[in-house]
Amino acid sequence: MLVASLLVASFLIFAAMYAAPGNPLAALSGGRSLSPEAQAALEQRYHLDQPFFKQYWYWLSGAVHGDLGISITLKQDVSSLIAQRAWITMSLVLYASILIVLIGVGLGIVAGLKSGWLDTSILVVSSFCAAIPAFVAAIVLALVFAVTLGWFPTMGTGEGFFGNLRALTLPAISLAISAIAIVARVTRAAIREEAGKEHVQTAVSRGIPRHFVITRHVLRNASIPITTVTGITIASLIAGSAVVEQAFGLNGLGQWLVRAAASKDLAVVQGISLLLVIAFVVVNVVVDILYAVLDPRVTLGQRAS
């Protein structure tokens, strides 16, 4: 099933690029007029003389072996270019995910277990933050913390581990801020719902100490929806990183995908698209596995959506 959906997805990506207007030869030759022999040589090299399905097959088998073709704008191997840039996107998404889990789930737990001003203020702040799009967050954060206060760089990835960490802080916060708010709200709601369940009442009635009621019953059971929502939210960040990469001038995959699309660098668009889809599918599979591990009522592959 998994392989089948990836196959269909790869086919859709390839078909979209095939349908793109413009002669790929013109792009390859950079607009120079070619002799018929040179043209034929290029066609043969890139299998352009072959029928559609054969071309798809060549591309797919290449992709499986890590060969995604040549970028026409950078005149380099797409796979190695991706390898050079992937770490930026990956660290950005990882950084944002850590923020989401620590801050989003953390605040949600606090708000879910405590009532009163703390709960109310977390609720108010999170409903405001949930509405902040990444690029608006990027502008405001850059304005305040980079330009005005000068704590963080406005552009680039910095040098060394701590340089990277510092440079990626504002982008990661921009990327994560609405997700943090959403996860916090979902966490709070899940905990509230679970705390009101009858089986929690049973535990109280049997004299189980409060902290065990919370950890063994409320949090344990609420972890199921929390994990699912957090996982899906993180999966959606992968493509969303393009926005903050653009805003903070980071040379990641997202920004490159956008540039390649604008300059019709087909091999690059195909390669990155395939990678993003795979990443999305993989994160979803991980979520499904976690779901099945956490909930004994579920067997793998039947997440209720």
Partner 1 sequence: MTAMVTTTAAQESPRRRGLRSRLGVSGAIAATIVAIASLVAVIGPWIAPHDPTIANLSQAWLAPSADHLLGQDVQGRDVLSRLLAGARSSMLGPLLVVVVCMVLGSSLAVISAWRRGFTDSAISSGLDILFAFPAILLAALSAVVFSPGLWAAVAALSVAYTPYVARVLRGAMLRERNQPYIAALEVQGSGATSICIRHLLPNVMPLMVAQATILFGYAVLDLAVISYLGLGVQPPNPDWGVMISENQSGILQHYPMPALAAGACIVAVVVAMNLLGERLLERSNASGR
Partner 2 sequence: MTATTIETQPQPAGAGSPLLEVDSLALQLPVDGEYRPILRGVSFTLAAGEALGLVGESGSGKSMTVRAIDRILPPRARLEGTIRFDGQTVADLSGAALKKYRGEVAMVFQDPRAHINPVRRVGDFMTEVLRTNLGVKPKAAAERAVEMLARVGIPDGARRLDQYPHELSGGLLQRVMIASALLTEPRLLLADEPTTALDVTTQAEIMAILDDLRRDFQLAVLFITHDLDLASAVCNRTAVMYAGEIVEVRQSSLLHTDPLHPYTSALGAARPDISESAHRLQAIAGRPLSALEAPPDACAFAARCQHHEDVCDSSHPDLVAIDGGLTRCVRADDLRGRLGVSHD
- Residues at the site binding partner 1, with contacts judged by CB under 8 A: 5, 8-9, 12-13, 16-17, 19-21, 131-136, 139-140, 142-143, 147, 154, 236, 238-240, 242-243, 246-247, 254, 257-258, 260-262, 264, 266, 269, 273, 276-277, 280-281, 284, 305
Amino acid code (one letter) for 187: T
Pick from 203, 243, 269, 287: which binds partner 2 (CB under 8 A)? 203
* Residue 231 contact partner, candidates partner 1, partner 2, none, CB within 5 to 8 A by sort of partner: none
Taking the complex as a whole, the smallest distance from the CB of residue 124 to partner 1 amounts, in Å, to 12
Token pair in block for residue 236 = 């959606």
Token pair in block for residue 15 = 């078909």
27 to each of 80, 265, 292, how far by Cα in Å? 21, 9, 49
Taking the complex as a whole, the smallest distance from the CB of residue 65 to partner 1 amounts, in Å, to 22
Pick from 296, 299, 304, 305: which binds partner 2 (CB under 8 A)? 296
- State the pairing for strand pair 76-77/70-71: antiparallel
* Strand ranges in the chain using DSSP code E only, listed in sequence order: 70-71, 76-77
* Residue 142 contact partner, candidates partner 2, partner 1, none, CB within 5 to 8 A by sort of partner: partner 1
Q: Tally the residues of the chain.
A: 305
Taking the complex as a whole, the smallest distance from the CB of residue 188 to partner 1 amounts, in Å, to 16
List binders of partner 2 among 215-234 (CB under 8 A). Answer: 216-217, 220-221, 224
Taking the complex as a whole, the smallest distance from the CB of residue 173 to partner 1 amounts, in Å, to 16
Token pair in block for residue 257 = 């995908």
Decide if residue 297 touches partner 2 (CB under 8 A): yes
* Residue 55 contact partner, candidates partner 1, partner 2, none, CB within 5 to 8 A by sort of partner: none
Phi, psi of 83 (to 5 degrees): -60, -35
Instruction: CB nearer to partner 1: give 172 or 269.
Output: 269
Decide if residue 294 touches partner 2 (CB under 8 A): yes
Taking the complex as a whole, the smallest distance from the CB of residue 286 to partner 2 amounts, in Å, to 19
* Residue 5 contact partner, candidates partner 1, partner 2, none, CB within 5 to 8 A by sort of partner: partner 1
Taking the complex as a whole, the smallest distance from the CB of residue 222 to partner 2 amounts, in Å, to 10
For tokens 């581990």, what's the residue? 161
Decide if residue 304 touches partner 2 (CB under 8 A): no
Decide if residue 210 touches partner 2 (CB under 8 A): no
**C-alpha span between 280 and 267 (Å, rounded):** 20
Give 242's contacts (C-beta < 8 A, 6+ positions apart): 252, 253, 254, 255, 257, 258
Decide if residue 201 touches partner 2 (CB under 8 A): yes
Number of residues this chain uses to bind partner 2 (CB under 8 A):
22
Give 301's contacts (C-beta < 8 A, 6+ positions apart): 1, 288, 292
Q: Residue 83: exposed, middle, or buried by beta-carbon count in 10 A (0-12, 13-18, 19+)?
A: exposed
Pick from 31, 149, 198, 262: which binds partner 2 (CB under 8 A)? 198
* Residue 209 contact partner, candidates partner 2, partner 1, none, CB within 5 to 8 A by sort of partner: partner 2
Nearest to 59 by CA among 24, 27, 88: 24
Residue 77's SS3 state is strand
**C-alpha span between 50 and 47 (Å, rounded):** 5
Binding positions for partner 2, rule: CB under 8 A:
197-199, 201-209, 212, 216-217, 220-221, 224, 294-297
